[in-house]
Amino acid sequence: MSLPNCWEELRWQREEESIKCFLVLKNYTLSLILLVSLTVLQDLTWTLSISLFFSFTCFIIATMLSVWLVLVSCMDFLLYSSAEEGLEFPSFDGRDRVLNVNERNYKKALKKYDMMCLLYHEPLPSDKELQQQFHMGEMVLELAAQVLEDKDIGFGLVDSHKDAKVAKKLGLEEEGSIYVFKDERVIEFDGELSADTLVEFLLDLLEDPVELISNPMEQRAFERMDEDIRLIGYFKGEDSEHYKAFQSTAEKFQPYVKFFATFDKGVAKQLTLKMNEIDFYEPFMDEPVTIPGKPNTEEEIVDFVNQHRRPTLRKLRAEDMFETWEDDMDGIHIVAFAEEEDPDGYEFLEILKEVARDNTKNPDLSIVWIDPDEFPLLTTYWEKTFKVDLFRPQIGVVNVTDADSVWLNMPNDEALPSAEELEDWIEDVLSGKVNTEDDDDDDDDDDDYDDNDDDSSDEDHYGDDDDDD
């Protein structure tokens, strides 16, 4: 049962119980009133008129009914309020927690907190719309600071003009970016600027950089994490120097790359790991790649991860969406849209996985999978920009500079392309036969045709036919 239906059923149950309670109380009240009235009647003289008795009784009944109606309403309100307490989303309480970081206070701020989250921004613009955008970003930090108030995380703003010296000392370079300072590390947040995404990112940073796998249940959970880049190593124990090198490497890549370790011989056997051996799992791949030369030093692990960090197939995620988008292949991305919960989308995604597994050794191939359901605010923008229907699976080439794109033609009345057909199309993309520049030429031709539409002639139509050929 969906959550709204649960609340609706609960509300009707409360109302039904309230009505039953009201009727029972009403009956008891009426009986009590009649009993009291009869007792009083015996003590009254027979000269008291019967009409006065009935007037007195009606007055008492009306008063008690009003009281019980108020009580029942209050009880219903209290029951309804208590049901919502478990789903109360935080809202800004008006208290300023975000610091204006400058040359006088930045050292103190960094020492005060275990982690410091800084938004490096351009000077406050004079344009009202730009000011509003800036204040919206500031409110994201304020709400995150409020939610994480007990986590020893500080939040601040650094003006790129007023606080240029501080920015230089801290290594802040890109305006509009959020930088997180933890221990001796500086981690750039390249995700969606929203409070929930930022809070999730910071909470991940608070966790241990290496998660231990100690039983079959945890092992199965690890194996299902097919959307993430992850490494797992088998070590003798926490005091092992090789484990410490692995742990130190994990700190450098947290939270973008997941690191796991096991000290359990049974788990290691199931994962076919030997002592001090480390396996690297690429997203959506069935089999891992073992880092050669065990036992590995920290430098060897870092180099291997950097060389293999761009997967053949990767998912666009809110927490690192800009980092993924900026990691293009010569200015282009092969982009696939597919809703995982949709039957066609799921089938298309499985075809993409098959293509990726067959071409995992091709360093020039990298496909970005986007699930439109996870980016509802961007869906309309993507449809307008790329001129595609995202209710159907799509795959195309996108120029990251100007958003020009070319998409594989997949008519609605036809079946989805096979893995072989997708591989042929991808080969055309990688060879340059399919590219966004050709799409620009087609658009220019369309514009020229529109301009000369009124003066069209048979010769023009023959030219079009030649183009079609």
- 309-318 tens-digit pLDDT: 999 999 999 9
Amino acid at 423: E
- Side chain identity at 434, as an amino acid letter? V
Burial 233-267 (b: 16+ CB within 10 A, else e): bbbeeeebebbebbbebbebbbbbbbbbbbbbeeb
Q: How far apart are CA 10 and CA 1, in angstroms?
A: 12
Q: Above 60 in pLDDT, residue 7?
A: no
Burial 339-355 (b: 16+ CB within 10 A, else e): beebeebeebbebbbbb
Question: Which residues touch 246 (CB under 8 Å, ≥6 apart)?
Answer: 210, 231, 233, 235, 259, 261, 278, 296, 298, 301
Tell me if 198 sits within 8 A of 140, measured CB to CB.
yes
For residue 406, pLDDT over 60 is answered with yes
pLDDT in tens, 411-469: 776 789 999 999 999 999 999 898 887 655 555 444 443 444 444 434 343 334 444 44
Put the strands of the sheet holding 230-234 in their side by side order: 210-212, 258-262, 230-234, 278-281, 289-290
pLDDT (tens digit per residue) in 282-303: 999 989 999 999 999 999 999 9
Taking only Cα atoms into account, the Rg of the chain, rounded to an integer number of angstroms, comes to 33
Cβ atoms < 10 Å from Cβ of 273: 22
Whole-prediction pTM value? 0.75
More confident position, 439 or 146 = 146
> Looking at this protein, which amino acid is placed at residue 129?
E
> Could you please report the per-residue DSSP string of 379-403?
HHHHHHHHT--TTS-EEEEEETTT-
Q: What is the mean pLDDT of residues 364-380?
A: 95
For 37, other C-beta atoms within 10 Å of its C-beta total 15
Burial category of 337 from C-beta neighbours within 10 Å (exposed 0-12, middle 13-18, buried 19 and up) = buried
Please give the pLDDT value at position 434. Answer: 87
**pLDDT at site 276:** 98
Higher pLDDT, 184 or 250: 250
Residues in the chain: 469
Torsion of CA 417, 422, 428, 431, to 10 degrees: 170
Rounded CA-CA distance 405/384 in Å is: 12
Q: Which long-range contacts (CB under 8 A, 24 or more apart) does 70-73 make?
A: 72/18, 72/21, 72/22
Whole-number Å distance between alpha carbons of 122 and 119: 10
pLDDT of residue 228: 94
